[in-house]
Structure 1
């Protein structure tokens, strides 16, 4: 049995996993741990580094695996961190799963959607509540009325642990300069959403092909797949792990 460490995406912290880590723990019967990246959540007093490797190393220095076996799951920017981590420190994790992640080398010019750019650029002109509502409208395909309360909760997260603007810029710089590892030396699972309006799901198809990894595609969820259908993610991981002796 392998426990799981979860890594969140751009400008998000461990609170944004919601109930997903509890869902995964219950489905697999293992420990599931979340952690904040530098610059966000409990680490908002720090400034995020400007490279994926430096972000990974910051998190790695704080993670305490003990003598237990671990696997790693990352979504979006967290997927870049996950691939970087297992590529450079392959003995530390047994498996790696990534959700709706990308790398500049896999992106075609016509797949560079303007939604994320507009969201980030317009943040300074919106209230926190309006910004989080806009972010969820773009990243989730759940009905709008289900996202209203969640947007207010996420805006509260920002008020409670506001990151400095340099941290968001640092993460963006890290994402656009990220280079895929030459190989992923542990089993890799690629999960994606056909309804993702932030990262074209065909990028995940290229990622899976690059590393000869299994690919599972949700038919209609948005970019935040664990939010839209956490149970589906848990089932795909459980199937990938196979029966436990």
Structure 2
């Protein structure tokens, strides 16, 4: 069984996966590792680069896998890093899964949610708890998620390892300027949620079409699909693995 590296999204660190890595291990029997991007979590004393390739290269220098087979899963900005990584270093991973991700080529300004910018821009004017509540209100749809408890936990993450404004802006610039690679020479699976209010699912549809990759759409989950329905994500990966 392959091992998996998981990459989180915009302004998030590995703690924001919550119980998903353990669920991944239990469902698929895989060894699962997570890692922080530059500027966040354990790397918060550093400043994030302003491009996806630079973020990729930073993480790659710190990822020291054992001599075994690895696959890669990334959500949102982590999906951008995953695609860039597998395009430029195709021997590093056996498979690639991207969740609710995007790129400049997939952007349609007419479909952008006007709530996104106030949530991101209001970070400096709210308490940590209020900000994380606003983020969860934008990214999670499931009634099973205790968003109030999670907002308190994520506020503590901010207080324990607060990213700099420069790192947040760096990631925003990196995400806004990321362009899709010409090709991704490893098997690619695209997962998305029809209820995503941050990166509408048409973006994932365009990515899947570009690379002739299989695409699965969750009918009602939000942007944080592994949080809203981890079992669905893992079932789709399990179904896909025998074909790759």
Q: Which residue of 2 aligns with 1:68?
A: 68
| Structure 1 match to 2:37 | 37
Q: Verify: 1:174 aligned to 2:180, yes or no.
A: no
Give, in angstroms, the shift of residue 108 of structure 1.
Answer: 1.4
**Structure 2, unaligned runs of 5 or more:** none
Distance 1:117 1:172 in 2: 11
Residue number in structure 1 paired with 2:212: 212
Gaps of 5+ in 1: none
Contact 1:194–1:218 under 8 Å retained in 2:
yes
Query: Who is 1:128 aligned against?
Result: 128
Query: Partner of 1:138: helix, strand, or coil?
Result: helix
Contact 2:145 2:228 (8 Å CA) reproduced: no
Distance in 1 separating the partners of 2:47 and 2:145: 34
TM-score where L is the length of structure 2: 0.98
Deviation at 1:115, TM superposition (A): 2.2
Partners of 2:235 and 2:241 in 1: CA distance: 10
- Spell out structure 1 runs of 4+ moving beyond 3 A: none
Q: Tell me the TM-score normalised to structure 1 length.
A: 0.97
The equivalent residue for 2:116 is: 116
Partner of 2:78: 78
The Cα of 1:145 is off from its aligned counterpart by: 7.5
- Kept in 1: contact 2:8–2:75 (CA 8 A): yes
1:141-179 per-position Cα deviation (integer Å, ceiling 9, x unaligned)? 023972100000000000000011100000000011111
Taking the aligned partners of 1:185 and 1:160, their CA distance within structure 2 comes to: 39
> What is aligned with 1:235?
235
Aligned Cα root-mean-square deviation (Å): 1.3
Q: Is the 8 A contact 1:137 1:144 kept in 2?
A: no
**How do 1:114-193 residues align onto structure 2 when only pairs under 5 Å count?**
114-143=114-143, 146-193=146-193
Does the CA-based 8 Å contact 2:144-2:228 persist in structure 1? Answer: no
- The Cα offsets for residues 78-128 of structure 1, whole Å up to 9 and x where unpaired, read as 000000000000001000000000001111121222222111111111111
How has the CA–CA distance of structure 1 residues 243 and 216 changed in structure 2, closer, same or farther, with 3 Å as cutoff? Answer: closer
- Between 92-101 and 23-32, report the one with greater CA deviation: 23-32
Secondary structure of the 2:229 match is helix
What's the secondary structure of 1:90's corresponding residue? coil
The alignment of Structure 1 onto Structure 2 pairs a total of residues equal to 244
Q: Partners in 2 of 1:90 and 1:243 — Cα distance?
A: 19
